[in-house]
Each structure stands twice: as C-alpha cells, then as structure tokens.
Amino acid sequence: MDQEYILEMRNITKEFPGVRALDNVNFKVRKGEIHCLVGENGAGKSTLMKVLSGVWRYGTYDGDIVYEGEVQRFHHIADSEAKGIAIIYQELALFPELPIYENIYFGHEITKGRQIDWNETIIRAGEMLEKVRLHVDPSIPVKRLNTGNQQLVEIAKALSKNCKLIIFDEPTSSLNEDDSQNLLNLMKELRESGITCIMISHKLREVTAIADTITVLRDGATICSLDAKTDDISEENIIRNMVGRSIDNVFPKRTEKKVGEVVFEVKNLTAEDPVTGREILKDVSFNVRAGEIVGLQGLMGAGRTECALAVFGNTRGYRIKSGEVVMEGKNHFFKNPRDAMDAGLAYVTEDRKGNGLILIQDIRYNTTIANLQELMSGVVIDENKEIVVANQYKEDINIKAPSIEQIVNNLSGGNQQKVQIAKWLFVHPKVLILDEPTRGIDVGAKYEIYTLMNKMVEEGMSIIMISSELPEVLGMSDRLYVMSEGRITGELDAADATEEKVMEMAIKGK
C-alpha cells in the first residue's frame, strides 16, 4: 500500500527576526499524487515552499529536505530546478513582450553549437503546448493570452524542463470558473503521466475535489495530513483544522463599550483597475459607528486593501464607476489622501516598509510628516514643538527606541508599526483604517497594539480593521464584514461570528 515518497521535509524550522514562521514542520509527498497544502494566511505555506525551492537557501533553516531518497542542499532556485522541482507562482513570472516559445525555453535554450536553434525551439514549444492543451500559435507574445492561458504557458515551461514535481501556489485564485476547471483537469492528467503536484489553495471545494492528500498547516506547524481515501476530508473538517485554536487571553477586553451613531459610510462602491479592466470592487457597502471596531475580513486578494486605497483618496487611480463616501452625514469625493485626511480619515497601510514609512528618516520625522501644519510658526517648522509631540507619542504608545532620532529602518517590526500608528494619531482622525496592523510582528507587540486600539475607540474614535488573521478579527471587532472577490459577502455581529461562518463567507463566490 505504502507508495514511495518523492519528497519528505523533516522537522523544518525557519525563523525570521521576531517570528518563527515554521516550527518543526513535517511534510511528506507521495510520488505521483496531488497533494494539497491548506492553511490560513500566514500559516507558513509559502515559506515552506520557499524553503523547498531554495529561495531560502540551505543553512537559513533547520531540518532536512529529502527528495528522491537523498538529502538536498538547495542554494538557489536553479538547484531545485535542476532536480526537477518547479514552482508556479500566483504572480506569473513570464515576459509579456516575448513570444510563447521564448518564454517556455527561457533559461534553458535549445542550442545548436553556440547559437540558439529557434526552429527547433518553436517546434518543441508547440509540443509542450499540446501537452497542456493550449491550442495557440507559439510565436504570439504572451501578453496576448489571458491569465488562465498564461498559467498554462508556465506549466508548459515546467514540463519542458522535465519536472517531476510541480508546486502550484494558489493557481486558480485569478482564474474564472472555466479556466479553473480546465487547470484542475490538467493537473489530473499530469498525475496520470507520473508528475507529482503540490497545490496551495484556499478554495476548499477544489481541494476536496482533486486532492489525494491534504496537509493542514497552522501557525507554522503541521496540524494533520488527511488521506482522501480513508480520512474525513469534508470542508467542515478541514476548516476546523485550519482555524482550531483557542483565542482566550490573546485579546484585551475593552472596559466599556459606547457605540454611537454611524460616522462613516461607504455606499455601493464599484471600481475597476484601469490597466487590466478587471472589476476589483463590486457594489461594496459598509459603515462604522463612533466608538466601534469594525473588522473587514477576507482572504488575500479579496479586495480589502483595494477598497481602503480607493476610499482613502484613490492614489492607485482606480476607475471608480459608482458609489458614495459619507463622513458624518456629508457626501465626499476624495481626490487625494489630503482630502481624506481633512475629512477625518486615516489609513495605516498594510505594507509599512513599502508605502507606510520613510525608512531612512527618524521617528520624529515619520511621526509628524502627515500633519506638519500643526507645527508651523509662520513658514518654519517649530522643531521644539515637534520634539515634544514626537516624544509624547513615543511615550504614549511605547515605541521602544533610544530616542526619537532613531532611524526607523533600525526598529523592529512592532515598533515600526507603532510609529505608523503615531503618525496617523497625530492627524487626529475620526476614523482610522488599520490594514493588517499586526502582520509580521511578535506576540507582545500585537497585544500592545490591540490595547492601543481599545483605548482609541474608548476615546470615541472609530476603527476599521482589515486583517487576514481570523482570530484577531473575531477577538477585536464589534462587528465584521467579510469580503470575497471584491464583494461584501456577509456582515456579522461579533457575538454571532464563528471562525467557521466567516471562513465560509470568505470562500463564497470563489
């Protein structure tokens, strides 16, 4: 019965500063099966695959990778590719301007002598396309294919390298129903021809339909491995394993709850990405009351951050087709973040390094940059006043640094996050949007941020918390909305919400 394992990852532990992303993970894949890897965002799936493919090279993690019976030491992606392991990422890694055949053989060109043999390349690329059932001319540029077909080109590329193990990272997340079905069928065919597939996916319906084995990760640890033939692989059981964790004591309780009138409301917001023309927000409506924490839950790519950015002055330039933004009973159209700030809105971004902080500047600079007008005396910034303000916030929200002259880049993730929060508190907002406020920060700092959030709403502010971490949303919110595929798929009172209910809504429409 026991088939041989093509891959065994034994006791893999991978640490990042302040976070243990993988904790003694064991992961075994049989030869020629479809193995699905599921778990919440941040459970460690992607990290595990990065360890496997050599992105995190040998020596940066503990544990062994045994592939085809041998312990492997991958230092680059090229090392794992040479052994026949390929990853197909969510964001495709193709060259849009180059023809399909060049994409397929990029990096392992077919040569005759010292020259590339283009004729042979085109012919063989055609054969590869045949294998993935993509019937197009291999000489057209990749950008003319839709996302589903581009993915097929990626797979053709993997096949052209004689891969034995293909990892699909959420392959169907950006595909429509037909393309998804097509891809799943293709995976089955690959299995017939002896190729092993690992699929990371949030779409449990697809997982249960296709998987031979399902491994559930949670908080960087393996929870269970379910065999499709012998174990219970109902969606309920998988979800229970994905989220099952007690959330007592992790979240501080608010001493008093005074929820008031609706302060901020978004009505029927529909927007599309001007580049791809894809609708990213469909008829989104939600509101938040004074003194309330409203959670905005959903899986990655559900459109939560897009929603926040569109509301907060729309810096990305989405084409907003319809909808209203109402602040304290007044209709607003925010042309830029400054307008939104003036109306009383603030937005702590999800990506603090990317678009939140100015890392090469110090705490003082970052604390005051959004509200310098409050520090002006004439045309000059009153630096004494600025120092007082920055010191005050440093103390109030406990930013741990020797002084406010510390460069923000040298702070830990938790302290960087606090600097971001300080910056936005200093604009004295009525409504604060927190986008993934605790991503990548350690437990202690998380607790501090939760306490801070409670303090803010007790003082009458309103918070919209976007988070992928279910327990956090459930533990902190008074009310929550669930998004999926750019739509609000449900609204729940904190009292009625369970992780299973939310998960169901978040997967709905997928």
Partner 1 sequence: MQNEKKSVGAEIAQLLKANIKSYMMYIALVVIMLVFQIWSGGKFFRASNISNLFNQAAYVAVLAIGMTLILILKHIDLSVGYVAGFTGAIAAVLMQRYGVNEWLAILIVLAIGLMIGLYQGTLVMRLGVPAFVTTLAGMFIFRGLLSLALAKTGTIVVSQKGFLALCNDFIPDIVSHEEPGLHVVTLLIGIIAVVAMVVSQLRARKNKLKYNFEVVSMPIFVTGMVLVAAVIMLVAYVLAAYKGLPWSAVIVGVVLAIYTFMLSKTKLGRYIYGIGGNDQAAELSGVNVKLVTQFAFCSMSLLAALSGILYTSRLSSATPQAGVSFELDAIASSYIGGTAVSGGVGKVTNAIIGTFVIMSLTNGLNLMKVDISYQYIVKGIIFIIAVAFDVRTRKKGK
Binding partner 1 (rule: CB under 8 A), the pick from 93, 300, 358, 443 is 358
Q: Which two tokens stand for residue 445?
A: 């700092």
Within 10 Å of residue 234's Cβ, how many Cβ atoms? 12
Stretch of 28-36, 51-59, 227-235, 372-380 lying at the interface with partner 1 (CB under 8 A)? 372-380
Site membership for partner 1, residue 387 (CB under 8 A): yes
Total chain residues near partner 1 (CB under 8 A): 35
Q: How far is the CB of 467 from partner 1 (least distance, A)?
A: 19
Q: How far is the CB of 259 from partner 1 (least distance, A)?
A: 29
Q: How far is the CB of 347 from partner 1 (least distance, A)?
A: 7
Query: DSSP assignment, residue 141?
Result: B
Site membership for partner 1, residue 373 (CB under 8 A): yes
Q: Which of residues 392-451 bind partner 1 (CB under 8 A)?
A: 403, 405, 409, 423, 427
Site membership for partner 1, residue 365 (CB under 8 A): yes
Site membership for partner 1, residue 92 (CB under 8 A): no
Q: Is the separation of the CB atoms in 161 and 84 below 8 Å?
A: yes
Site membership for partner 1, residue 337 (CB under 8 A): yes
Q: Is the separation of the CB atoms in 148 and 176 below 8 Å?
A: yes
Q: Which two tokens stand for residue 86?
A: 């390929």
Stretch of 25-33, 74-82, 261-269, 307-315 lying at the interface with partner 1 (CB under 8 A)? 307-315
Q: Is the separation of the CB atoms in 213 and 197 below 8 Å?
A: no
The nearer residue to partner 1, 292 or 386, going by C-beta atoms, is: 386
Binding partner 1 (rule: CB under 8 A), the pick from 129, 341, 401, 465 is 341
Binding partner 1 (rule: CB under 8 A), the pick from 379, 395, 459, 495 is 379
Q: How far is the CB of 462 from partner 1 (least distance, A)?
A: 20
User: What per-residue string of b and e applies to 29-65 under the rule 16 or more CB within 10 Å gives b?
Assistant: bbebbbbbbbbbbbbbbbbbbbbbbbbbebeebebeb
CA distances from 193 to 9, 32, 33, 36, 86 (A): 24, 8, 11, 18, 16
Q: How far is the CB of 74 from partner 1 (least distance, A)?
A: 27
Q: How far is the CB of 335 from partner 1 (least distance, A)?
A: 10
Could you give the CA distance from residue 322 to residue 236 in angstroms, rounded to a whole number? 37
- Amino acid residing at 475: G
Stretch of 16-24, 113-121, 134-142, 374-382 lying at the interface with partner 1 (CB under 8 A)? 374-382
Q: How far is the CB of 407 from partner 1 (least distance, A)?
A: 9
DSSP, collapsed to helix, strand or coil, labels residue 418 as: helix
Site membership for partner 1, residue 17 (CB under 8 A): no
- The overall longest dimension of the chain from CA atoms, in Å, is 82
Q: Is the separation of the CB atoms in 391 and 399 below 8 Å?
A: no
Binding partner 1 (rule: CB under 8 A), the pick from 381, 392, 442, 494 is 381
**Side-chain-side CA neighbours of residue 391 (13 Å):** 7
Site membership for partner 1, residue 384 (CB under 8 A): yes
Q: Any alpha helices (H) in 94-203, and if so which ranges?
A: 100-104, 118-131, 147-160, 177-192
The nearer residue to partner 1, 105 or 334, going by C-beta atoms, is: 334
If we measure between CA atoms, which residue out of 491, 437, 464, 424 comes closest to residue 307?
464
Site membership for partner 1, residue 176 (CB under 8 A): no
Binding partner 1 (rule: CB under 8 A), the pick from 93, 224, 372, 443 is 372
DSSP, collapsed to helix, strand or coil, labels residue 112 as: strand
CA angle centred on 81, ends 226 and 79, rounded to 5°: 110
Binding partner 1 (rule: CB under 8 A), the pick from 175, 357, 421, 483 is 357
Residue ranges that bind partner 1, judged by CB under 8 A: 312-313, 315, 336-338, 341, 347, 349, 354-361, 365, 369-370, 372-373, 376, 379-381, 383-384, 387, 391, 403, 405, 409, 423, 427
